[in-house]
Amino acid sequence: MKTLSKFVCVLSLALLAGTGFAQNVLDGTFVDENTPNRRVIPYTFLRQADVLWSQRVWRVIDLREKENLPFYYPLSQNANRECLWDIIRGALKSGELTAYEDNSLTDLDLTFAVPLTKAKISEIISPVDSGLTDENGNPLPPVASDITPDKIRGYMIKEDWFFDRQRSVMDVRILGICPMMATVNKNTKQEDTTGSYNNLFWIYFPQARPLFAVKEAFNTHSDAERRTYEDLFWKRQFSSYIFQESNVYNRTLSAVYAGAGTDRLLEGEKIKKKMFDLEHDMWQY
């Protein structure tokens, strides 16, 4: 028994060596061994013949909502966690993720048509501010700085819902994710309060899953139950609203209900209810 205890003690010290803490100091009650070694759960194989019904929808995860705060915080990286924007930004700089041009103004289905070059990605995530002045009002040289997490207001999600008759379930696959930045007036340097956002780029979600699976997210219920960003998306632990479904006109809800925010939200809830009722009716018959 004494030999086993010594072995466990030596193993714990060895694990602590690369954590950044002082030797013999464990900042917690245990060493996190699960999150760094997490693997992505593969999607269930799906045949086209088994898809009885399918619907493509686009939704927005608004980071101002309380349920979505784990995606927004921390605003600065700490020892255990970093926000979703910091993860995406770091992966783009290292080349781990590929970004695609946003074509939402023309056709949302052209999400992954144009990959962005490293120079273009750098231009987007580190824009050059050329309107700076000193205390005397004299212009300063242009400065390139990274977009900080507090400027990200939400994430646009592109996903396919479908009914799989092989498993008799309604399922969903997220296809893409797009960070949405607050629009800032170039002259006044003030944030636009009308709800206008700047879509930065698209990330192919299946490519990002292995990265999200090893990045810890805050669990509002218990620090002992470690969760990752992959868990949050997989378990649908976020609040969102639908702003478009596939339709013959290829129009968003804002184009149909211009200037009526409440009507757009209610129509998005109708789309959710329609999918829920369809799954219920599948079981009925």
pLDDT tens profile 216-258: 999 888 888 878 999 999 999 999 999 888 888 777 777 666 6
- Find the angle CA(55)-CA(58)-CA(61) to the nearest 5 degrees: 135
Tell me what pLDDT residue 284 has: 60
* Mean pLDDT within 58-85: 92
Tell me what pLDDT residue 72 has: 96
pLDDT band at 130 (very low <50, low <70, confident <90, very high): low
Tell me what pLDDT residue 59 has: 94
Tokens describing residue 49? 């013949």
- Is the model's pLDDT at 281 over the cut of 60? yes
pLDDT band at 1 (very low <50, low <70, confident <90, very high): very low
Torsional class of 34: left (φ above 0), alpha (ψ -120 to 50), beta (otherwise): alpha
Mean pLDDT of the chain: 83
- Is the model's pLDDT at 50 over the cut of 60? yes
In angstroms, the CA 150 to CA 179 distance is 12
What pTM was estimated for this model as a whole? 0.83
Short-list 156, 130, 153, 168, CA closest to 52:
168
Q: Which residues pair with 179 in a beta bridge?
A: 155
3-state helix, strand, coil in the chain (%, to 5): 35, 25, 45
In angstroms, the CA 35 to CA 229 distance is 11
104-113, 200-209, 252-261, 272-281: the lowest-pLDDT one: 252-261
Tell me what pLDDT residue 13 has: 45
pLDDT band at 8 (very low <50, low <70, confident <90, very high): very low
Tell me what pLDDT residue 9 has: 46
Higher-pLDDT residue of 51 and 193 is 51
Higher-pLDDT residue of 72 and 35 is 72
